[in-house]
Amino acid sequence: MIEVGRSKRVAAPAEGHRSAILRHMPGDLGETAVIRREAPGDEPSIHRVHLLAFSSSAEPDLVDALRRSGSAVLSLVAEIDGEIVGHVLFSRLDAPMRALALAPVGVLPERQGRGVGSLLIRTGLREAQKEGWSAVFVVGDPAYYERFGFNVGAAESFQSPYAGEFFQVCLFDASGPRQGAIAYPAPFAAME
């Protein structure tokens, strides 16, 4: 059982029910979002979430390619009333420490702005840290990602094809490497 922020305690799931990581009340609509690991059969719904969230096939194709390549490590979905409304993927990086890339994160357009994406990211970071990962890198808007502990300045000493003003890192291990080359899985290059 995990309790986070405004989350509610979650009892053990009923026999045959997919295991929830936590429940949370996103916004003031009284809807409960269940965050859980991706399960077999979720792929079409995850593909749909990213297709609608980004109005492009690039992100859902990236998720599919990362799964096929074996690079996907942590894949979480948000469900409301049994419908998958959001997804986040963390993939293994070639780095001087145990590191992941956060990409993509998507939420159905009608569910955006209600905290679902933030909950997916926070839960994913917490799970990554519990599983012994030392860092998570992201390429995105610093104004959005800094609330989760990402830092542009801390990423400046790492070399990456994505280095620049949007390249950020969230470090879990204060004694870990603070520089080096960060190589993303091959499917990321196909997006460019």
| pLDDT surpasses 70 at 11 | no
| pLDDT surpasses 60 at 8 | no
Which residues neighbour 45 within 8 Å (Cβ) at sequence distance 6 or greater? 77, 83, 84
Instruction: For the chain, give every domain's residue range.
Output: 37-76+84-190
Over range 3-16, report the average pLDDT.
35
| Average pLDDT over all residues of the chain | 88
pLDDT tens digits, residue range 108-155?
Answer: 999 999 999 999 999 999 999 999 999 999 999 999 999 999 999 999
Predicted model pTM? 0.87
Over range 3-12, report the average pLDDT.
33
β-sheet bridge partners, residue 107: 86
Fold of the domain built from segment(s) 37-76+84-190: Aminopeptidase (3.40.630)
